[in-house]
């Protein structure tokens, strides 16, 4: 809101004397990019932990943080920071500028039809939906690359305890009753536990080319529909809640 206020231009009507502040597309883009950058500086480590835990790894957030730092260093928490910024900067720019454009467009349509130009619930929801949908669609390929960098080769979840491996070994042990020979699945999981912490994708271009090679260019758009279904209502709710809270603060502050 500070950046929006700083980049807005204020005009005063010569007939009514009422001042009106307007944020143009360039200003909205800069405000969105700034907020996205500050957000990523704080939230990238938590996003990395979230992505890996969703794959079934680690016993909890504390365990995930300790393991990543111990095995990959502090840089492991920010391994995808570059591509995260590359994803979220354009996302923020498109989202904020589109929201401002759609909101001003709806307000102008209201004025043209002699209706009160009030920033109501319908206006903020409509503008937020359009902004979230467009921003999510444009940055979907970058988000896929970011996710691959964050998760590296963590493709299979690990057993929660050593007893899982022991049980598997006992079931498939030799007829003599010996449990010294592990089953192939158990060996594969054990080997994965040793190797997965070595970074497999070293940077943006490496992860991007691996997706294209393995899945084709269509792979860059995998997950687009769920992403749209997530971001469209999320952005609409965020902007609507923000505007509602701002009105309440102005009224009661």
The more confident residue out of 196 and 132 is: 132
What does the pLDDT read at residue 153? 64
Q: What percent of the chain has pLDDT over 70?
A: 76
What does the pLDDT read at residue 220? 92
d(CA 241, CA 205): 38
**What is the chain's mean pLDDT, rounded?**
79
d(CA 16, CA 160): 69
pTM (predicted TM-score) = 0.69
CA atoms within 13 A on the CB side of 110: 14
53-72 b/e (C-beta count within 10 Å ≥ 16 → b) = beeebbeeeeebbebbeeeb
d(CA 139, CA 151): 19
**What average pLDDT does range 129-158 have in this prediction?**
82
pLDDT of 76-93, one tens digit each? 888 778 878 888 999 999
Residue 57 neighbours by CB under 8 Å, 6+ apart: 64, 154, 157, 158
Q: Is the pLDDT of residue 57 over 50?
A: yes
d(CA 237, CA 99): 12
Cα–Cα distances (Å) from 159 to 57, 64, 77, 170, in that order, read 8, 15, 23, 15
Beta-ladder partners of 237: none
């Amino acid at each position: 809101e500070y950046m929006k206020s700083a980049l807005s231009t204020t005009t005063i009507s010569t007939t009514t004397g009422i001042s009106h502040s307007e944020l143009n597309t360039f200003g909205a883009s800069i405000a969105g990019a700034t907020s996205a950058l500050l957000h990523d500086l704080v939230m990238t480590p938590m996003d990395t932990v979230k992505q890996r835990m969703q794959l079934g790894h680690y016993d909890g957030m504390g365990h995930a943080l300790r393991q990543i730092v111990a095995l990959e260093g502090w840089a492991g928490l920010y391994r995808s920071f570059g591509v995260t910024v590359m994803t979220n900067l354009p996302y923020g720019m498109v989202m904020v500028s589109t929201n401002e454009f759609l909101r001003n467009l709806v307000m102008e349509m209201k004025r043209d039809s002699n209706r009160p130009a009030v920033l109501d619930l319908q206006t903020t929801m409509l503008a937020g939906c359009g902004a979230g949908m467009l921003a999510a669609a444009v940055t979907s390929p970058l988000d896929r690359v970011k996710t691959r960098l964050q998760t590296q080769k963590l493709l299979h979840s690990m057993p929660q305890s050593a007893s899982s491996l022991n049980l598997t070994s006992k079931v498939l042990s030799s007829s003599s009753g010996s449990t010294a020979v592990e089953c192939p699945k158990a060996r594969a999981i054990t080997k994965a536990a040793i190797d997965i912490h070595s970074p497999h994708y070293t940077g943006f271009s490496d992860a991007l080319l691996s997706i294209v090679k393995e899945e084709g260019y269509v792979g860059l758009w995998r997950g687009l529909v769920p992403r749209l279904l997530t971001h469209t209502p999320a952005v609409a709710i965020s902007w609507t809640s923000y505007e509602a809270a701002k009105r309440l603060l102005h009224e009661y502050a």
